[in-house]
Structure 1
Amino acid sequence: MNGGDFGGLAARPPIGLEELTGAAALQTRMDRKYVVGARRAAGLVRAFDADVRVLEMLGRRSFAYDSVYFDTAGLDSYLLAAHGRRRRYKIRTRTYVDSGTSFLEVKTEGARAATVKERIPYDPADSHRLTGEGLAYVNETLACAIGSVPSGALGPVLQTRYRRITLYLPGSGSRATIDLGVTWRKPDGQAYELDGAVIIETKSGSAASALDRHLWASGVRPSRISKFATGLAALDPALPANRWHRTLSTSLPLRPLDRP
């Protein structure tokens, strides 16, 4: 799936990146995620009658993302999430493939489970490793945000790829994303693809967005899913995955991919 005219979004008005960033940066936000069959999701988006603008750059409305997640050998970041600990974090590089730009990002859980994301520009050539400067940024950010730093060396543990459509909802000043063709791959090459489904994520303030309410009214409820943690749990069944067991067993259709 490469996006195309998903759910009739080609007919919706565009919004540029600069305007979107100014209108709905939402670096501190509440995220709700939904795993929905691709055909059903397209129908729900088509039936959504609120104002929607679609991010468009250079004539494109879907964009390739490539993220690499870092953790300790003991998977400290994963285990903090798996056990629902406060002061948990994620560390990743994110590459916007179409533009060739990358960032090093640190995400932490703030007050009332709000996600706080901080990031710096990063060389795409370093997307699979932490440079000295990158590690210093990670440690400084975590020390300020949660009062601690990782207990061991950080290395790449998971890579995710997908195409993303980004929506702006003027009525609430919020955003939503639709991720298509999601894949997860470990450094050893083991990989899964989300089969016939998409991930819809709403990113708003404390109040639910119009899209959330539309999905709820249609019988779609949020799924407990983290591309990082749920992906690792799917690839390694030996990991504790109670928080994502229902998602993995009932609403996350996965298809193994060949090793490269």
Structure 2
Amino acid sequence: MNMAVLSPLASFCGHGLTDQARVALMSRVDSKFVVRPELLNACLSTLGDAYTVLDMGGCRRFGYDTLYFDSPDRRLFLDHHNGKLNRFKIRLRHYRHGEIMFFEVKKKTNRQRTVKTRMPVTFDSFVDGSTAKFLKEQSGLPAAGMQPALFVSYQRTTLIDPQGAERITLDTQLAFHSPDRQRSVELPGVAIVEVKHERHSGFSPMLQALARLGARSVPFSKYCVGSSLLFEPYLKTNRFKPLLRSLYGIRS
């Protein structure tokens, strides 16, 4: 992806991790958009007074590595595909910039809220059973039935609004890898915008800017999209086919 992507952010004021922690929104409603980089730049060029951007030592884009877990029969994937309420995603997330790892459980409730819980982890967390206990407490799922299902890497930039009511993530350079690293798919020409609120908001400069440019929200799960792109012949993907077709169009 061309380094000119996100170039409008050069004029944004920065904020630090302490400011961002106040807008953690671990329980939230969210809207996601799949856009071309040029549309994202056009959107950002109008929003310099509405948001600040996470800045750590002059760095504003940060590398993320995520390993998703699922059962051998892909129960969590199929729950999402089939529209099951109160469904889960389980993942290990590595923040490259700070060399920090978290074990995370994400739940989509029957009220369409996303609730995320997490614990910092080290190698010992897996050896002493801490992560297995955490998973059982947060989801009721047995750790013994879970195995690596998908690797995802990407670059993330995070915006917040001055009132602390809105958090926006901009993900670029997405790449998906099978657990054995034998299969990979990259989405270099795709940007994922996620707008997060504590509750449905009547006003959002980002949502308004995206609407003016013709962007429409879509259900987008990195785990489900990556799994579908890599394993479509072997997985049930009917529900995701319209999104997959649009991704192929953006990539071309």
Give the TM-score taking structure 2 as reference length. Answer: 0.90
Find the counterpart in structure 2 of residue 146 from structure 1: none
Cα shift at 1:161:
0.4
Counterpart check, 1:181 vs 2:177: no
Find the counterpart in structure 2 of residue 163 from structure 1: 155
Cα shift at 1:252:
4.6
Structure 1 letter corresponding to 2:201: A
Find the counterpart in structure 2 of residue 227 from structure 1: 222
Cα shift at 1:77:
0.6
Counterpart pick for 1:217 among 204, 212, 219? 212
Aligned residues, how many? 247
Find the counterpart in structure 1 of residue 245 from structure 2: 249
Q: Mark the CA change 1:196 to 1:8 in structure 2 (over 3 Å): closer, same or farther.
A: same
Q: Mean alpha-carbon deviation: is it higher for 160-169 or for 230-239? A: 230-239
Cα shift at 1:35:
1.0
Counterpart pick for 2:136 among 111, 136, 139? 139
Q: Mark the CA change 1:242 to 1:130 in structure 2 (over 3 Å): closer, same or farther.
A: farther
CA distance in 2, matches of 1:52, 1:4: 19
Cα shift at 1:172:
6.3
Please provide the CA RMSD for this pair: 2.3
Indicate conservation of the 8 Å contact 2:36/2:250, yes or no: no
Indicate conservation of the 8 Å contact 1:2/1:181, yes or no: no
CA distance in 2, matches of 1:61, 1:34: 20
Unaligned runs of 5+ in 2: none
Cα shift at 1:220:
0.3
Indicate conservation of the 8 Å contact 2:154/2:175, yes or no: yes
Structure 1 letter corresponding to 2:64: Y
Structure 2 letter corresponding to 1:118: T
1:34-53 Cα distance to aligned partner (Å, 9 max, x none): 11111221122113355110
Counterpart check, 1:195 vs 2:191: no
Indicate conservation of the 8 Å contact 1:72/1:152, yes or no: no
Give the TM-score taking structure 1 as reference length. Answer: 0.87
Indicate conservation of the 8 Å contact 2:65/2:96, yes or no: yes
CA distance in 1, matches of 2:120, 2:30: 23
Unaligned runs of 5+ in 1: 144-148, 256-260
Q: Mark the CA change 1:73 to 1:157 in structure 2 (over 3 Å): closer, same or farther.
A: same
1:126-165 Cα distance to aligned partner (Å, 9 max, x none): 89x786221111011113xxxxx25961111101001100
Q: Mark the CA change 1:102 to 1:79 in structure 2 (over 3 Å): closer, same or farther.
A: same
